[in-house]
Amino acid sequence: MQEESLLRINELSRKKKTEGLTAEEQAEQAELYRVFIDDIKNQVKTALDNEIEICKSEE
């Protein structure tokens, strides 16, 4: 995920706590969260796949 997207997530989070978000901002935040979560899932999957390959090669 791009650093500017992470900065935008943080910006929207702060704004949500202080003054609230418009419907458009809520939709943007939901999309950014989805991309972030998908990115984390892919990182975990890749790490696990690499670990499985290492374990198989040691057998």
Over the stretch 12-51, which tens digit does the pLDDT of each residue have?
999 999 999 999 999 999 999 999 999 999 999 999 988 8
What's the pTM value of the predicted model, to 2 decimals?
0.79
CATH number 1.10.287 given to 3-58 = yes
Q: What is the Cα–Cα distance from 46 to 48, expressed in whole angstroms?
A: 5
**Phi-psi map region of 2: left, alpha, beta (phi>0 left; psi -120 to 50 alpha):** beta
The structural domains of the chain, with segments of one domain joined by +, span 3-58
Handedness of CA 31, 33, 36, 38 (dihedral sign): negative
